[in-house]
Structure 1
Amino acid sequence: MTMNMMNPIGTEAWKTGLFDCMDDPNNACGTSALLYGLVGVFLWVPFIMSCAYRTKIRSKYGLVETPAPDWATHLFCEPCSLCQEYRELNMRGLDPSIGWQGNVARAMQQQQPNMMTPPMNQMMR
């Protein structure tokens, strides 16, 4: 467990504000947001899950719980909260669109030196 994970009190500011959604218009709009909203209206499950992920992001990077507690931020400003978290992860070098496994694979590729591989269309006889 890292020091950031053990210390839930954040000291670092978010790189973008909660209401800076239009700083990245591609992230703020779209069919995905509409579908997410429809699921959220009927189940409320997305609110609970996304609130937990905001807490994890804050703990990992030592971010301040602002402008309100995580649960309140997601309950009243769900779309803005998700956009802020997406922008924060992007600014920290992660690509949320490829998921956790995609980011781990990308990091491993960047750490390994370029190795030579044989051409795919050749066979030994």
Structure 2
Amino acid sequence: SFRAKEKHPKNMMLPSQSFTIAMFSNWNSGLFSCCDDIKSCCYGFWCCPCLACTVSGLFGQNHCLPLCDICSPAVTSAFGIPLCVPPAGLALRVGIRQKYEIKGSLCKDIATSCVCVWCSWCQLHRELKYRNHTPAVVNQPKK
């Protein structure tokens, strides 16, 4: 009878479980909030490929990665494969959104990357500037 109680204890203690709840934030600025940062807006308007390469570098990726978006439609259409989603732009957008836990979805990222490429790159640039310049708060215990 003692062994039966060992197999099926009624008051079994479970190890404490900890759950991490991700607190998702919004984008620092809206998709069409170019007036929030005129420099980024002008940079994107006058030389969007240059801005895209800058965003890629700020995010720690190869600076030339966004140039794949320029070449990919020509290459894929040569093989008869239509492509409307810029792959590098979409990948960077998803990566930034996931790294900084920004609200959104893959469907919204695809739509944003396809509908307004310039606005998307400008928003990503503003977001990285904001995230990279936000000071970190460090609490040190008193000695």
Which TM-score tier does this pair reach, normalised by the shorter chain?
0.5 to 0.7
Distance in 2 of aligned mates of 1:43 and 1:61:
28
Q: What is the TM-score when the length of structure 2 is the normalising length? A: 0.48
Paired residue secondary structure (1:29): helix
Tell whether 2:40 aligns with 1:27. Answer: yes
Decide whether aligned partners of structure 1 residues 34 and 49 sit closer, same or farther in structure 2, where only a CA change above 3 A counts.
closer
Amino acid of the structure 1 residue aligned with 2:36:
D
Deviation at 1:29, TM superposition (A): 2.1
Identity of aligned residues (%): 31
Number of equivalenced pairs: 85
Deviation at 1:44, TM superposition (A): 4.0
2:26 corresponding residue in structure 1 = 13
Q: What is the TM-score when the length of structure 1 is the normalising length? A: 0.54
Task: Please list every run of at least 4 consecutive aligned residues from structure 1 whose deviation after the TM superposition is greater than 6 angstroms.
Answer: none
Per-residue Cα deviation, 1:46-87 (whole angstroms, up to 9, x for no partner)? 821011100000110110117x61111010011111111110
1:69 corresponding residue in structure 2 = 108
RMSD over aligned CA atoms reads: 3.3
Decide whether aligned partners of structure 1 residues 41 and 17 sit closer, same or farther in structure 2, where only a CA change above 3 A counts.
same
Amino acid of the structure 1 residue aligned with 2:132:
G
| Structure 2 gap segments, 5+ residues each | 1-20, 52-66, 75-84, 134-143
Could you say which structure has the larger radius of gyration? 2
> Is the 8 Å Cα contact of residues 48 and 121 (structure 2) preserved in structure 1?
no
Distance in 1 of aligned mates of 2:129 and 2:49:
22
| Structure 1 gap segments, 5+ residues each | 1-6, 95-125
More helix per residue: 1
> Is the 8 Å Cα contact of residues 18 and 81 (structure 1) preserved in structure 2?
yes
